[in-house]
Structure 1
Amino acid sequence: MSDDSASDGPTWGIELTPEHHPDRVADLAARAEDVGFDVAFASSHYFNRDPFVALSRMAAETDSIRLGPGVVNPYESHPVKLAAQAATIDEVSDGRGVFGVGAGDRSSLANLGIDHDKPLRRVLETFKLAQDLWDGETVTHDGTFTAKDASLNLEPDGEIPVYVGAQGPHMLRMSAKHADGTLINAAHPRDLEWAAGQLEQGLADRPDSYGPFEALAFASVSVAADEDEAREAARPPVAFIVGGAAEPVLERHDIDREAASAVSEALERGDLTDAFGHVTPAMIDAFCIAGTTETVAERFEAALEHVDGIVVGSPLGPDLEDAIERASEALELADSA
């Protein structure tokens, strides 16, 4: 955890996935607010419901929790459009908006015929442009994307915090230098400790005028009363994490390469059942915080040695409402330890 953290206590965040009807997602956000979560992110994947529609419903059903996409990418939508959508959520939530932005999943973008070109530069240009638009400026930009005399017909009352989704060293360092926070795509203390080292390098170059910076672990979590049920529910997200994991990450956890290849190959041919079946206990330990409330609390405590807060990410658990309650209990236990 850095000395530049944005608050004294850890931030409690949650990822809500619009694979469910927006009304259900809004109810889950209200429950998360009731049990003490500070911020709720709606994940963005082309095959799910629109995150901004979900966020609009979430805003209507909540009063204090901060809300934003977690995370959108500047390939599927033009960065000016993303800036307008984020500002709209900030407006309808009475200033509770946050902007989670990242490079997107390479394989998902490939499904749409989109080239994942210059991701670091494109993400940086996207949120810098958005900040100018939110300040009421008319912008012209010629870089990884083009905008000419673009402006918005709405302007946020205050600043919208920018959180960059990051996993690799360059994106982590860039987020620490330029953004308000980072969402570290990791759950294990070993990965979070490594990421913290990258963030420190970025913070060394951060202008003082940018204000505080917050590092959050955007962690896959599965919590339930039964340990085995929690771990079983973790298989799908862990399979996708393994399928996209870089070699240094697999090496850091000594993951069986044959098993990892079997997962990746099954995902590529669309055989999800086979992919999930190849997920090993070691993969779940490395890439998900899974277990009972007490087990998860211990893992949260270990993670908080390296970050300023935790975003409880997919799958949450086999029962979503129960998992939200248990995750808040685990965060409280970890915070008081």
Structure 2
Amino acid sequence: MSDNTQRMNNDTQPGSEPTVGIELTPEHPTERIADLAALAEDEGFDVAFTSSHYFNRDPFVTLSRMAEATDTIRLGPGVVNPYESHPVKLAGQAATVDEESNGRAVFGIGAGDRSSLANLGIEHERPLRRVLETFGVARDLWAGDTVSHDGTFAASDASLNLEPPSGQLPVYVGAQGPHMLRMSAKHADGVLVNAAHPKDLEWAAGQLEHGLEERPDEHGPFEALAFASVSVADDEDDAREAARPPVAFIVGGAADPVLDRHDIDREAAEAVSDALSQGNLTEAFGHVTPEMIDAFCIAGTTEQVAEQFEAVLEFVDGIVVGSPLGPDLEDAVEKASAAMEQAIAADER
């Protein structure tokens, strides 16, 4: 990556240890997610993201519970989209998390999943512009400004009745395609690259470099994190089996160039996608091939995952350990932390 990078924990300087993050999916009760966040904090994670899907528990309610259970780990949605909720509302919700956590919030924003939005009858229009306008307006609101906006969304004389303790929340854009990657590098504080394989992350790093070339100096440092599907367990087969559901959804939404990059059989990918579109989840998971798991998830024992983390860190400034984590969540948090320690130690040798 460029020298224009910075770790998410602001006490450090460029060149320090990688940022270590975790994604906690609120498919479980908020109390359990809060306990997992506390465990992640104890295990040395820097940031915990909570995913946002309409069919799971509310991410901002969950983040409030996580804030109560923790002291130092940074917290944020990973990621919300500016279609299901109005961007001004999202800015207020994020500021509330910052207040509840005494200034530990980050703002993860992305375009959202096209198929999930379609289920709600929401048009996925001009996603790059919508994301950029959303965090631009949010920054103005967090600064205490009254905002009127007329673009991909409208707001008139909007303001917040609270001031986030951090002043400005770091903005991390969830991205996978070339244009969103470049935009994030040009305008955001960081990016959450939706990928787990060095091939994809090397390609993404090239796109980010193009954006960094146009980045204004006043935007400050930039950080690239791999938002990677990870599954870790004592037994490799158990870890890989647990990876089937998230890998199926990744394959179902993967663009043709991504499939080609990994030599994924198109017919096999279409079988996964067709089963998902018909709601046959068990069938879709069964169509996941070993090659798909290799391409789209870091899966295996602690030692195997550590080796893959080390390879990933060649191209990013840190890793967010994403769903499914592993067959046993608490055990997976501990093993993922151990794997990161091994990868960082190996990188320093």
TM class by shorter-chain length? over 0.9
| Matching residue within 27, 44, 55 for 1:47 | 55
Q: Deviations over 1:48-80 (max 9, x none)?
A: 000000000000000000000000000000000
Counterpart in 2 of 1:322?
331
Counterpart in 1 of 2:252?
243
2:84 maps to 1:79: no
Partners in 2 of 1:14 and 1:171 — Cα distance? 22
Q: Which runs of 5+ in 1 are unaligned?
A: none
1:60-75 mapped onto 2 (5 Å cutoff):
60-75=68-83
Amino acid at match of 1:172: L
1:65-214 mapped onto 2 (5 Å cutoff):
65-158=73-166, 159-214=168-223
| Matching residue within 294, 300, 309 for 1:285 | 294
Amino acid at match of 1:120: L
TM-score (structure 2 length as normaliser): 0.96
Amino acid at match of 1:294: E
TM-score (structure 1 length as normaliser): 1.00
2:12 maps to 1:3: no
Partners in 1 of 2:2 and 2:119 — Cα distance? 38
> Helix, strand or coil: the match of 1:314?
strand
Counterpart in 2 of 1:13?
21
Contact 1:237 1:315 survives alignment (8 Å): yes
Amino acid at match of 2:5: S
Aligned pairs, number: 337
CA displacement at 1:5 relative to structure 2? 1.7
Partners in 2 of 1:124 and 1:166 — Cα distance? 12
Partners in 2 of 1:303 and 1:136 — Cα distance? 39
2:264 maps to 1:255: yes
CA displacement at 1:2 relative to structure 2? 2.6
Contact 1:2 1:307 survives alignment (8 Å): no
Contact 1:175 1:181 survives alignment (8 Å): yes
Counterpart in 2 of 1:33?
41
> Helix, strand or coil: the match of 1:318?
coil
> Helix, strand or coil: the match of 1:273?
helix
Partners in 2 of 1:4 and 1:22 — Cα distance? 37
2:245 maps to 1:218: no
Q: Which runs of 5+ in 2 are unaligned?
A: 8-15
Partners in 2 of 1:161 and 1:107 — Cα distance? 28
